[in-house]
Amino acid sequence: MEQWVELTGRVVIVTGGSNGIGRAICDSLSELGARVINADITPPVKEGGAEYLPCDITKKGETERLVEDVFGRYGRIDALVNNAGVNRARLLVDTKEPGSKYELSETDYEAMMSVNVKSAVFMAQAVARRMIPCKKGVIINMSSTSGARGSAGQCIYAATKAALSSFTKSIALELGKYGIRVVAVTPGINEKTAMTSADAYMDALAYTRNTTKEAIDSNYEASIPLGRLGRLREVADVVCYLISDRASYITGTVLNVSGGKTTD
Ligand SMILES: NC(=O)c1ccc[n+]([C@@H]2O[C@H](COP(=O)([O-])OP(=O)(O)OC[C@H]3O[C@@H](n4cnc5c(N)ncnc54)[C@H](O)[C@@H]3O)[C@@H](O)[C@H]2O)c1
């Protein structure tokens, strides 16, 4: 029986597919028949349906080599999912302990900007060069509800996500005439991933919000109209749909997948 979302033979590059949401995306795409390439700096913990290609996506040269390698082998690239991201919770100014490790540094700024924004820009550029002659392709950018709303203690993380949502809209305007669709997805609060379960992240978030890790976790569900955290597979399902031809008239927009936590 034919599946409603059919991705057999589609070649899809997913950045940051070794963990969390990216891994769920790789698994769901593979189950739907896609040939998935996981471009990550860290190897996956366990084997999945995706082919792992090591890549530091903050290095433009490495991303270009990766894209040419994939195109050289398969002769097509149908979709790119710019999923990899890093989040360091930091205060703009730490009034409790000026200059502490939780006050935003230049290194923190550059780490978040380079993984979350720069890599997505140059991955999209390299992939679009190959998609344009084919007059077809899909680029998905993993944003966050914090991008539209802002987030205390995460000013640069949220700014990188707003940048991705804006970048999505502009390149959709440029690439539409080549049949290339570009969509941003904004998850809200989800089941724990490597990012959100890391002690370094939770300790920093608790410090910047003047609370405890336990209090942060226990308040999440009450803030979500659907009353529960998002499942990683629910974000992956949206990405699969957007890549498929079922979403053939969707481009230049930001799709909120947050259980109603935010509506903008
Ligand atoms: N987890 C959430 O609740 C949540 C909510 C909203 C948005 N997001 C976004 O979803 C995306 C995935 O988040 P996650 O929670 O699954 O993260 P994660 O930390 O679990 O996984 C991110 C992956 O990116 C990879 N990566 C980091 N730097 C890299 C680099 N330089 N080169 C190549 N790969 C690199 C990591 O190795 C890791 O495998 C991110 O963009 C994040 O901002 C997550």
Inside any domain, residue 4: no
Ligand 1 and 17: CB distance under 6 A: no
Inside any domain, residue 149: yes
Inside any domain, residue 121: yes
Q: How many domains is the chain partitioned into structurally?
A: 1
pLDDT per residue as tens digits for the range 6-19 = 999 999 999 999 99
Q: How far is the CA of 33 from the centre of ligand 1 (A)?
A: 24
Cβ neighbours of residue 255 closer than 8 Å, sequence gap 6 or more: 183, 184, 185, 186, 238, 242
User: Looking only at Cα atoms, what is the longest distance across the chain?
Assistant: 63
What percent of the chain shows pLDDT beyond 70?
100
Q: pLDDT tier at 2 (50, 70, 90 boundaries)?
A: confident
* pLDDT at 116 exceeding the cut of 70: yes
The domain of 191 spans 11-257
β partners of residue 11: 35
Long-range contacts of 225-231 (CB under 8 A, 24+ apart): 225/259, 225/260, 225/261, 226/259, 226/260, 227/259, 228/259, 229/189, 229/190, 229/191, 229/259, 230/187, 230/188, 230/189, 230/190, 230/191, 230/257, 230/258, 230/259, 231/190, 231/191
pLDDT per residue as tens digits for the range 167-215 = 999 999 999 999 999 999 999 999 999 999 999 999 999 999 999 999 9
Q: Which amino acid is at 237?
A: D
pLDDT per residue as tens digits for the range 134-168 = 999 999 999 999 999 999 999 999 999 999 999 99
Inside any domain, residue 51: yes
Ligand 1 and 21: CB distance under 6 A: yes
* pLDDT at 104 exceeding the cut of 90: yes
Inside any domain, residue 215: yes
pLDDT at 205 (0 to 100) = 95
Which CATH number belongs to the domain containing residue 179 in this structure?
3.40.50.720
CA of 23, closest atom in ligand 1: 16
Q: How far is the CA of 45 from the centre of ligand 1 (A)?
A: 15
Inside any domain, residue 264: no
Q: How far is the CA of 85 from the centre of ligand 1 (A)?
A: 4
Q: How far is the CA of 189 from the centre of ligand 1 (A)?
A: 13
The pTM (predicted TM-score) of the whole model is 0.98
Structural contact between residues 236 and 120, judged by C-beta atoms closer than 8 angstroms: no
pLDDT at 1 (0 to 100) = 66
Ligand 1 and 20: CB distance under 6 A: yes
Inside any domain, residue 6: no
* pLDDT at 23 exceeding the cut of 90: yes
What percent of the chain shows pLDDT beyond 90?
95
23, 37, 41: which to mutate for ligand 1, most atoms within 8 A of CB?
Answer: 41
Annotation says 178 is catalytic: no
Choose, from 52, 157, 201, 207, the residue flagged as catalytic.
Answer: 157
Q: What is the CA radius of gyration of the chain?
A: 18
Q: pLDDT tier at 264 (50, 70, 90 boundaries)?
A: confident
Inside any domain, residue 222: yes
